[in-house]
Amino acid sequence: MATGLSVQISEVVKRYDSGLSPLKGVSFQLEAGKFLALIGPSGCGKSTLLKMIAHLREPTSGKLLIGRGEPEERRLAYVFQDAQLLPWRTVLGNVTLPLEILGASKVEQELKARKALERVGLIDFEQYYPAHLSGGMRMRVSLARSLVNEPNLLLLDEPFAALDEVTRLKLDRDLRDLWQESQMTVIFVTHSISEAAFLSDRIILLSKKTGNIQYDLINPLPSHRTQETRALPAFAQLTQDLFLKFQDLEA
């Protein structure tokens, strides 16, 4: 898997035409290969920031540097809350799509797609259509599609928010494992404090009031995470700590 990209954000301001300015000078640096969770209240600008990192939006001012800033080195994947699969394509057909667009041979497309499906535990479902899958399986297909091109920067915007809790906990674990097997950099947007605590190396909490970073924490949990991690006193301490910080923001 490709070596992760670093991300440098300097004094980024975003003002929409409506006059609303969710981000008012955000700066941080993320080392290559890290797993960052971005949390904060609704409307604080998490999705806006993620879209700017993906070059889907321009900042009003400030700078974003992804890797060395060379477009050729960028292998970016973006996962949305909704799986966004093409209903007329099979699971395999959905996962081969990014490679098809890049003009890879059919053999290469299928080889890589099957590898990605294996990694998300869906290899036996390649001929299924999205309508015949559960929500969790559809999200796994979406993850496989994002992994098929071996991204060096994976951006996820509340990908598991619509799933039931057990499926979500399982996907959290799988994503953490997938990341550990790789060298990619991950930025994960979530509303969930416990999800941020479980998944990340580092947590940035954005404030809607100030339009800036309120807290920036290194996750103290051991790097290897399993279901048991959630029962550790350190996990309870971290989520409580985050909860209080979150509450501070809203006060």
Footprint (CB under 6 A) of ligand ATP, residues 182-221: 191
Q: Are strands 35-39 and 185-189 parallel, antiparallel or unpaired?
A: parallel
Beta strands in 33-117 (DSSP E): 35-39, 61-66, 76-79
- What is the Cα–Cα distance from 173 to 178, expressed in whole angstroms? 9
Rule CB under 6 A: say whether 22 interacts with ligand ATP. Answer: yes
Q: Structure tokens of 129? A: 């259509």
Quick one: which segment of 43-51, 77-85, 113-121, 228-236 binds Mg ion (CB under 5 A)?
43-51
Told to check if 214 binds Mg ion by CB under 5 A, we report: no
22 binds, among ligand ATP, Mg ion, none (CB under 5 to 8 A by kind): ligand ATP
Q: Is residue 42 a contact residue for ligand ATP (CB under 6 A)?
A: yes
Helices (runs of H) and strands (runs of E) counted in the chain: 7, 9
Cβ atoms of residues 10 and 63 within 8 Å: yes
Q: Of residues 4, 45, 67, 159, which one binds ligand ATP by CB under 6 A?
A: 45
Q: Which is nearer to Mg ion, 52 or 137 (CB)?
A: 52
**Which region, judged by CB under 6 A, interacts with ligand ATP, from 46-54, 86-94, 218-226, 237-245?**
46-54
Q: How far is the CB of 212 from ligand ATP (least distance, A)?
A: 13
Which region among 41-49, 104-112, 143-151, 215-223 touches Mg ion (by CB under 5 A)?
41-49
Among 35, 37, 48, 76, binds ligand ATP (CB under 6 A): 48
- For residue 169, the one-letter residue type is L
Asked if residues 7 and 18 have their Cβ atoms less than 8 Å apart, the reply is no
Q: Which of 44, 116, 137, 153 binds ligand ATP (CB under 6 A)?
A: 44
Rounded CA gap, 87 and 131, in Å? 7
Instruction: Report DSSP letters for 12-26, one per residue.
Output: EEE--TTS--SEEEE
